[in-house]
Amino acid sequence: MTTIPLNFQKNGLRFDYQPNVQNPVWKGSLDSIAFDNEGIKSKLLNLELPCYFVRKQGQLGVTNEGYLVEPNNDKSEIIDTITAVPPLVPQQLGDPSFQTFHGVKYAYAAGAMANGIASEELVITLGKEKILSSFGAAGLVPERIEKAIHRIQEALPNAPYAFNLIHSPSENAIEQGAVNLYLKYGVTTVEASAFLNLTTNIVYYRAAGLSLNCENQIEIKNKIIAKISRVEVATKFLQPAPEKFLKLLVSQGLITQLQAKLAAQVPMADDITVEADSGGHTDNRSLVCLLPSILRLRDEIQEKYNYKTSVRIGAAGGIGTPQSTLAAFIMGAAYVVTGSVNQSCIEAGASVHTKNLLAQADMTDVMMAPAADMFEMGVKLQVLKRGTLFPMRSQKLFEFYKAYNSIDEIPKIDREELEKQVFRKSLDEVWQDTVAYFSQRDPEQITRADNNPKRKMALIFRWYLGLSSRWSNFGELGREMDYQIWCSPAIGAFNNWVKGSYLAEPNNRRVVDVADHIMTGAAYLYRLQNLKLQGICMPVQYWQYYPKFNN
């Protein structure tokens, strides 16, 4: 008999035993014991109550009722007590400080998906259930972001939400404009993504929210969740803001001397999401390799700076099932972040056609394709290849960009093919559309391209790369084969998991249900793992958690 933990208590649930009692005995109603497979699994799924394992006449049974007492050694017991496990609810998974800091019920968040795929409706729906979600602001014009801020803040005056801040190395005005909007309207949590280095913009956001409270302690108003996939980038967010940026911001009158001083004492991020093999921008890293490396790096930097609160490290990329979620938590993740699985949900800002394609995808139905925002740098992102020609067509554009210095150098036959099959209009017309677009968004882009034919070619190609994701979101008729759909193998794993359940149908997929089932399933599997460590190996049929209505 293994030793059972003593006096476990969390989230108002209590599991008591007598101290110093070896081999305690279960007492309770025999009618509460389940001996059949269905009944035993039902008891195991009752995560808010303890599970007692007993044996009656050689048959294993499980109950959530009764209590443990000291054995009386009278040999009259008709029930043998095997072991017991305490309550284990989804709220117990991960780092509880994540829940406290962000005011959420789970160590779980829905990550940003650009162009408003992580829509206002998605953020609001999750926020009302105290689940953190980040609005997909990347790729949107300032007016659209401003509209989203107003709607989300009105709907969630006291509930959690975040906004994406994407690094824009080719369009600094866009990044700067987003920061100015967030500061203007009091957006106090941003999810920073695709950063290759720190910029004055993100340092400004961080430092502008620092102050001292009445107890002379540093108050952090502007929270940053940094999404990273490289050690060198993680290092920058784990350290305080660079002095050169702080001095510049002080000289420009954007922050005070006090704020600069405080910024030198806190890390750039409160949370760092380790992004493995994810949809969209990704380095296709393995989570089991990357997460331990970043955890160790965090510990080394924490030892150096001795922050009052250590930076939490979360996991993203490939999170789409209870098993992957539990694996991340067991490896040490403070929280998990989902992405691709949410895009197939009702609340996501994607078209019905796109959601149907996602609901049919397998793990192998993805590939890498050129990214619109970092096209010239050769940066790629992960997209769906099933049901669309976008990955192949966009790769062809990048090959032309590498091979030629201007549109005029492209052979006539290839140019005609591009105009007919890809752009469906002349390249001159595409350029006029591009000028009109950037004249409102970032006029400097056009100025820089006027005397640079290769840059002009890049902007023309980016017209297709940029619009293809919007066609997918809005369901542009006739352009289905050009839809750019960001996703990772997680969508295939999710589809395999929910096959045969109500979540198999995209019309039934709701983001709150997905979050609840993923976290509940992870807690259930964790309970089985705890039993396994005590020598109770449940049969294979118990190791599957299937989503059910009103579970």
Q: What pTM was computed for the model?
A: 0.90
Residue 547: both structure tokens together = 């989503």
Q: Which residues of 215-226 are buried (b: 16+ CB within 10 A; e: fewer)?
A: eeebebebbbbb
> Residues 6 or more apart from 440 whose CB is under 8 A from it?
141
Strand extents, DSSP E, 111-152: 132-135
Check residue 54 and report its DSSP letter. E
pLDDT digits over 209-237, tens only? Answer: 999 998 999 999 999 999 999 999 999 99
Residue 447 to residue 436: CA distance in whole angstroms: 13
User: Amino acid letter at 336?
Assistant: V
Residue 457 to residue 397: CA distance in whole angstroms: 10
Contact status, residue 262 vs residue 307, Cβ threshold 8 Å: no
Terminal-to-terminal C-alpha distance of the chain: 33
Sign of the C-alpha dihedral computed for residues 154, 158, 159 and 165 taken in this order: positive
Residue 436 to residue 440: CA distance in whole angstroms: 7
Sign of the C-alpha dihedral computed for residues 406, 407, 408 and 413 taken in this order: positive
> Residues 6 or more apart from 293 whose CB is under 8 A from it?
231
The partner residues of 26 in beta bridges, in order of sequence, read 68
pLDDT of residue 315: 98
Q: For the chain, give the longest Cα–Cα distance.
A: 97
Q: Which of 470, 497, 499 is nearest to 486 (CA)?
A: 470
- Give the angle 312-329-10 at the CA atoms, nearest 5°: 85
pLDDT of residue 494: 97
Q: For 550, left (φ over 0), alpha (ψ -120 to 50), or beta?
A: left
pLDDT of residue 77: 60
Residue 132: both structure tokens together = 């953190």
Q: Which residues of 249-264 are buried (b: 16+ CB within 10 A; e: fewer)?
A: bbeeeebeeebbebbe
Residue 416: both structure tokens together = 């005609």
Residue 252 to residue 355: CA distance in whole angstroms: 47
Q: For 128, left (φ over 0), alpha (ψ -120 to 50), or beta?
A: alpha
- Give the angle 513-514-518 at the CA atoms, nearest 5°: 115
Contact status, residue 191 vs residue 134, Cβ threshold 8 Å: yes
The partner residues of 210 in beta bridges, in order of sequence, read 220
**What parts of the chain have a pLDDT lower than 70?**
1-22, 73-77, 549-551
pLDDT of residue 441: 72
pLDDT of residue 20: 43
Q: Which of 282, 327, 471 is nearest to 389 (CA)?
A: 471
Q: Which residues of 488-502 are buried (b: 16+ CB within 10 A; e: fewer)?
A: bbbbbbbbebbeeee
User: Amino acid letter at 237?
Assistant: F
Tell me the C-alpha to C-alpha distance, in Å, between residue 463 and each of 413, 423, 468: 21, 9, 8
HSE-CB of 506 using CA atoms within 13 angstroms: 21
pLDDT of residue 281: 81
Residue 377: both structure tokens together = 């740098």
Residue 334 to residue 331: CA distance in whole angstroms: 9
Instruction: Residue 147: count other Cβ atoms within 10 Å of its Cβ.
Output: 13
SS3 call for 324: helix
Residue 246 to residue 138: CA distance in whole angstroms: 25
Q: 28 — phi, psi (to 5°)?
A: 165, -175
Residue 201 to residue 168: CA distance in whole angstroms: 11
Q: Which of 242, 238, 253 is nearest to 200 (CA)?
A: 242
Output the average pLDDT for the chain: 91
The DSSP line for 377-414 is GT-EEEEE-TT--HHHHHHHHHHHHHH-SSGGGS-HHH
pLDDT digits over 292-351, tens only? Answer: 999 999 999 999 999 999 999 999 999 999 999 999 999 999 999 999 999 999 999 999
Q: How many residues does the chain have?
A: 551
Contact status, residue 345 vs residue 371, Cβ threshold 8 Å: no
